[in-house]
Structure formats: C-alpha cells, structure tokens
Chains A and B, each alone.
Chain A
Amino acid sequence: MLVNNGFANDTESASRGKGMPVLRYIPTSVPCEASIMEDIEAGVDGAFEAMVTALTKPLTAEEKSPKPKEIEKPARIIFKGSLEEVSRFFYQRGWTDGLPIIPPTEEAVADMLTGTDLPPDHLLGKLESRLGKATIEKIAVNAVMAGALPTYMPVLIAGTKLLLESERGFMGYTTFGFSTGSWAPFWIINGPVRNEINVNNSSGAFSPGNIANAAIGRAMGLIIKNIGGVRKGVEDMGVMGNPMKYSMVIAENEEESPWEPLHVEYGYRQEESTITVSYPQTYLQHWPYGSDAEGILRAVIGYIIRGMRYTFIFTPPHAKNLAREGWTKEDIKEFISEYARIPGSHFNNIPVIGGARPSLYKGKISARDTDTVALIRDPRFIRIIVAGGPGAFIAHTVGGGATPGKKQTQKIELPANWDKLVKKYKNIVPTYAKY
C-alpha cells in the first residue's frame, strides 16, 4: 500500500484495527491532494523499489501468522498521586485535551453516576475507531475529568448514543470524527433540560464561562478520545485542527423563538429534551444589512461560503423580525437554498469529491458555465435555531450537519431522582461582582 508519509501512524492504527498488523505499506513523498505531476512522479519513483520488494519479498513468520493481540485488561485504579501528578500522568498517556483534569476518583465517579439510573457496567455500544466499550462507568470517568456535574450524565449518555448510532457513511461520525477536515462536534440541546442544567443560550453562548457549555463538549471530546480511541495525528488526521473541538455546546432559546424549536421540527415533543449533533468545520459571524427580513436574509446569502451543511443561529430579535414579516423556518431554508448561488464556471477548476459540478433541479440538469449553481442544493441541509444575546450578529456553522433520514438527534432520558439532582446542582452558576 502506498500512503503519504504523514499518514504512517494512521495506516498502522487502521490496519491493526482491521486485524492486519503486518500490512506492508510504503510511505511516499507524494503530497496530499497532489496535482503537480513532477511531485507525483518523484514520490512514486522514490518508493518504486520498496514497492516491488513489498510485493515480492517472501513473508516472515510473523507476517504469515501474527501473534494474537493480548487481551487488554487495564487496571481499574490506574494511578495514585497528587492533583498535579494525576493530571500529568493522564496527559502523558494521551488521555486529556491538554488542560488539567479533575481526578476521577472512585468517590467522584460514584457521585457522577447519581446522574443516571443505568448501572455502571451497562454497555451502550462499541465506539469507533477502536471499538472501545462505551460503558456508563467509562462515560462517568471521562465526565469527571472534564469537570462535568452529575446532571450532565443524561446528556453525555445521549450524546454517546448519537455517535454510536451515527451513519457509517460520508456524513456521519466515522468521517467527521477522523477526517483531515478537522470537523468539530457541535451539540445543540433542546427541551426542559437546557434550563435545568443551565446551558447558556444567550449572551456569548459559544464563549467560555458556563460550566454546562464547557464541560459537556469537553467530556464528549474525552469520550471520543478515550473510548473511541481517536487521537490527534494518529486516528484524527485533522490537518489544521479546530479550537471548536474543546467544546461547542449551545442550547436553543426556545422561550424567545417565534418558531417551533429544533427538536419539535425533528419530531420530538416540546416537553422532551434532546441533543442534536453536527460537525462544522467553520464558524462565522456577520452583521445584517438591515434589521428587516430583506436586510437579514440578503446578508445571510451574501456570507455563505462553499460548504456542505449549515446551521444558522439567529438572535431572538432577528428571528422575531423575520417571523413578523411572515417568514417560517421552511421559507428561510428554501430562500437560502434557492438564492445563495455562484456561477457554474466557478467549479471548473475545483476538484469536487466524486468529480462532479453541482447540477440543476434535483440533479436532473447538468450545469453550464453560464448557469448559477446553488451553494446549498437541498433546504433540508439547513438547520435554523435561535440563540445569542443582545446585538445584531448572525452566526453560521458550516460543514457536516443536517442529513435527512439519518440519525442526528437523540432523546435525553432522565433518571428517577432528576428533580432532586437538579435542585442540588442548579444553583451552581457564576455570580459576577460589580466593580
């Protein structure tokens, strides 16, 4: 197998994961996405003799029959030390996101487990890429590390289920958790649980400073790393990386939205709580051209970049202005998908995966240079939610997202002692001093 030399670790991890630890692969100097023939020829020429040898050199005994993999039986108690020593130990094992962690002691994990009625050994499933066993206890351990409160456990369990049940194709976790595109999971929380656990949906909703927004996303990142075994530069081959991977969690401001909330749009009841995931690569913000529908929507289509799927986040005043002029969420989606367009000729030199320029009318008519082509070809690829504080900015998240007919939202199941738990933890909020 010929691979780019930067993908050697990934190749070894993937081949071991597929049960073939002795795969013969040849790292080449051919640059990724190479289009310069001289580079490709130089890379192939540099690897050619090794490639011929790999095809013809007789197998070693190990290559014929590799030693069976030893059964992993990691100790349950893995370390004992001070706060700093625990953080350093975990960091050096590659188990953290680089920030210090809360030590997952037996007591702390037991406390975290009060957030669910499921037993610690309950297995939700096996999470890609290493098919790590996603037990409730492992979720709780990672939740403690992230600084989560026990009331976040139902959300983390639902989030893990979403990853486990994600489609195994191009638009699911198995792409966006690992891809060179550095896609980051973006979690939207709907329903009563938002307010019970204080997920920020107002001023600076995407900024640090709220424990739920910070710790839920952080915990999910640790779950992906420590249960899924997705490590940066080994399995997660994100080229640039993405700061949104630290945590990107928001609640919808359902109370101030003139429209039905996202989870109701997706078939859940208003009184149910859900978590919805997408995998944006990019987050951008802009002003409207005016505060009326024309000013808002012309600005939205003016700022759309080429991407796959979108979530638009409108502030309550903008959403109310749009609704007052009669715009529903469906109207807005149709408008954007119809009028956010670029010239067909724009695609002439762009290598689109699959090799095709976007077509016209449900893919039925080939686009010519003189045609304009929709940037978002299906309104169902768009999500609209209401959040954000005072002010007049509009936010877009761009990347993997709404995938019609595929798993994208999970109901959050609450434990029997939920009201008591909420009472215990609900008042943990920042209180800012006047100065």
Chain B
Amino acid sequence: MDDEWLVPIKLNKVNFKGRLPYLIFKGGLGAVERVKKGEFPMTNKANNEYEVLSPWAEADPIPFRGISPRIEGLAGKKIGLFRNSKRAALPLLNVVGRRLKEKFPTAELTEFANQRPNEVIIEQDAKEEFEDWLKGVDAVVAAFGD
C-alpha cells in the first residue's frame, strides 16, 4: 500500500477512537481526488478535534457620542423635516408635517432632502448647506428607509 495516496475518510468517531481509518480509491470511481497525505493539514487530526481561528475581523472602536438635548415642547419651535431619496420619505414627511401643524399650529416647518441615492451628501458636497440648515432648527424629524 502506498501511504502517499491515501484519503482520510471520517466515520463515526464513537467507533473510531484515535487514528482515523484510511481508504484507497483507485482510478475509475468517478469524481474522487487522490491526495498526498499531509497535503490538506485540516484533515489530519488524529483525535478528531480542531482548534480553529476566528474569522471575525477586529475593528477599531468608534467613539460613541450622545444625542442632542431635547426641547421642552414643540409649540412655537422650528422643526426640520429631513429625508433621503427613497419614494416613501416625501409623502411620509408631508403627513408628519400636516399632523405637526394640526397639533402645534405655532410650530414652523422646514425641509432638507438628500436626493442623491446612497451618497451622504450632508458629509460631502452639501455639508455646509446642511450645517447651516441645522443651525436654524430646534429639532429634526428624519425619515429613512425605503
């Protein structure tokens, strides 16, 4: 028997304590690849146990920050309505605006839209414009999602 051309076959470990049995395949059995012993180290585990490495990547911690202080009430306040480019965002915020005006008639509403799909323009091209808009509002309701 040429031990260089053995393929380890895993059987029930209850029946095979210790060294795994080997089976020889000869040509003509079909899609069976004959490998040299030791070619695939992961299969050469005499005790049938594997110590494995984590596939989960490390990541640098992102500094957490809190959210802006809340306002005491909405009456007389300037409320910003911010939306992305998805279809439901505009009609949804239109309804939000109508309900806000019904319940808080003295509230003032202002809108800002990020109309470029999947681009954070408020961190890029429109950063200054967005930050100016933010300075002028007391609170923001954002509508995201599809």
Interface residues of A (CB under 8 A from B): 1-4, 7, 11, 16-24, 28, 30-35, 37, 40-41, 43-45, 48, 51-52, 55-59, 63-83, 86, 90, 93, 95, 102-111, 126-127, 130-135, 137-138, 141-142, 144-145, 168-170, 174-175, 179-180, 222, 226-227, 229, 351, 353-354, 424, 428-433
| Contact present for A3 and B31 (CB under 8 Å) | no
CB neighbours (8 Å) of B57 from chain A are 127, 130, 132-135, 138, 226-227, 229
Q: Give the shortest distance, in Å, between B76 (CB) and chain A (any CB).
A: 13
Chain B interface, DSSP helix/strand/loop, else mixed: loop
CB neighbours (8 Å) of A18 from chain B are 62
| Contact present for B31 and A432 (CB under 8 Å) | yes
Task: Given A2-B141, A82-B13, A433-B29, output 9 extra A-B contacts at Cβ < 8 Å.
Answer: A21-B64, A32-B86, A68-B61, A90-B52, A111-B42, A133-B58, A133-B60, A170-B118, A432-B31
CB neighbours (8 Å) of B145 from chain A are 2-4, 7, 32
Q: Give the shortest distance, in Å, between A200 (CB) and chain B (any CB).
A: 14
20 pairs of residues in contact across A and B, judged by CB atoms under 8 Å: A2-B141, A19-B63, A33-B87, A48-B99, A55-B70, A59-B69, A69-B64, A80-B50, A81-B49, A90-B52, A95-B55, A105-B42, A105-B51, A105-B53, A106-B51, A138-B55, A170-B116, A170-B117, A175-B118, A353-B117
CB neighbours (8 Å) of A227 from chain B are 55, 57
| Contact present for B58 and A132 (CB under 8 Å) | yes
Give Cα A353 to B13, complex, Å. 57
B53 contact from A7, A22, A43, A78, Cβ within 8 A: A78
| Contact present for A107 and B42 (CB under 8 Å) | yes
| Contact present for B31 and A431 (CB under 8 Å) | yes
Q: Give the shortest distance, in Å, between B144 (CB) and chain A (any CB).
A: 6
Among residues of B, the one whose C-beta sits closest to the C-beta of A7 is B145
0/1 interface trace, chain B 40-77, chain A, CB 8 Å (1 if under): 11101100111111111111111111110111111000
| Contact present for B53 and A80 (CB under 8 Å) | no
| Contact present for B144 and A11 (CB under 8 Å) | yes
| Contact present for B70 and A59 (CB under 8 Å) | yes
Q: How many residues of B contact A (CB 8 A)?
A: 65
Given the known interface contacts A2-B141, A40-B88, A351-B87, the answer about A169 and B52 at a Cβ–Cβ threshold of 8 Å is no
Give Cα A168 to B58, complex, Å. 22
| Contact present for B87 and A83 (CB under 8 Å) | no
Give Cα A70 to B139, complex, Å. 31
Query: Does B131 reach chain A (CB closer than 8 Å)?
Result: no
Given the known interface contacts A4-B146, A353-B117, A433-B29, the answer about A72 and B61 at a Cβ–Cβ threshold of 8 Å is yes
CB neighbours (8 Å) of B10 from chain A are 83
Q: Give the shortest distance, in Å, between B23 (CB) and chain A (any CB).
A: 17
Interface residues of B (CB under 8 A from A): 10, 13, 27-33, 35, 39-42, 44-45, 48-67, 69-74, 79, 85-88, 91-92, 95-96, 99, 103, 115-119, 139, 141-146
CB neighbours (8 Å) of A104 from chain B are 42, 52-53, 55
Given the known interface contacts A34-B91, A40-B92, A82-B48, the answer about A90 and B59 at a Cβ–Cβ threshold of 8 Å is no
Give Cα A17 to B51, complex, Å. 31
Give Cα A72 to B62, complex, Å. 11
| Contact present for A67 and B87 (CB under 8 Å) | no
Give Cα A1 to B145, complex, Å. 10
Among residues of B, the one whose C-beta sits closest to the C-beta of A52 is B74
Closest A-B pairs by Cβ, 9 of them:
A132-B57, A433-B30, A107-B41, A32-B146, A108-B42, A103-B50, A78-B54, A227-B57, A226-B55
Q: Give the shortest distance, in Å, between B87 (CB) and chain A (any CB).
A: 5
B41 contact from A34, A56, A105, A132, Cβ within 8 A: A105
